[in-house]
Amino acid sequence: MEICTVDWKAISGLVSAIIGATVAWAISEKWRGQKASEEISKECKELWTKLDELEKLYNILDDLRELPVGLEYKSNIKDKFEIRKLFFSNVKEWTYLNLSKLEYIKVLTNNDEILVKNVDLLTSNLDSFYTQRLLQRFINDNDLQDHVKNNEVLSNIKNLKNSLVPFIKFSKST
């Protein structure tokens, strides 16, 4: 009868190598996921700042209603015209510079359903903005906020910011 003996010294080296490689692989995967989350968070924070800028642009429209108009306020008529002109040119510039960032955030977050919905709503508002820009000469100052969907855009900006929060705080990953 033969007795089978195992060389535990040789096996322990092999087991140690396998365990070490597995731990190294697990750590690298965890690190890669963490770096991806940090990148998403950074991009979401930058978009938040850009959305703040857009929000300020739309809040400027409140200034139009507050400026009195009449013969004694001729300078205010020029101010209103300048505010309108600045509003339309600044929103156009913001859209030009940040539309791709909105699309990039959708990709980064693996097309998170809530975030995509909010990005699409804001993008739709900005698309219709161009039509309003063409009609700006025919829009009364008091109606301008309605025509550029001021309240809707501000609401969509707020909703988009709220959908960015989980990614900024790392509480939601892709």
Do residues 167 and 109 touch, judged by C-beta distance below 8 A? Answer: yes
Quote the CA–CA distance of 32 and 38 in Å, as a whole number: 10
Do residues 88 and 144 touch, judged by C-beta distance below 8 A? Answer: no
5 within domain boundaries:
no
55 within domain boundaries:
yes
32 within domain boundaries:
no
59: exposed, middle or buried (C-beta count within 10 Å: 0-12, 13-18, 19+)?
A: exposed
10 within domain boundaries:
no
4 within domain boundaries:
no
Q: pLDDT by residue (tens digit) across 122-151?
A: 998 888 876 766 665 555 555 565 566 778
- Parent domain of 97: 41-168
DSSP state of 100: H
36 within domain boundaries:
no
Q: pLDDT by residue (tens digit) across 24-58?
A: 888 888 887 777 788 888 999 999 999 999 999 88
pLDDT of residue 65 exceeding 80, the answer is no
Domain count across the chain? 1
Q: What is the mean pLDDT of residues 57-64?
A: 76
Rounded to the nearest 5°, which phi and psi values hold at 150? Answer: -55, -55
Q: Give the per-residue pLDDT at 26.
A: 86
- What residue type is 154 in one-letter code? L
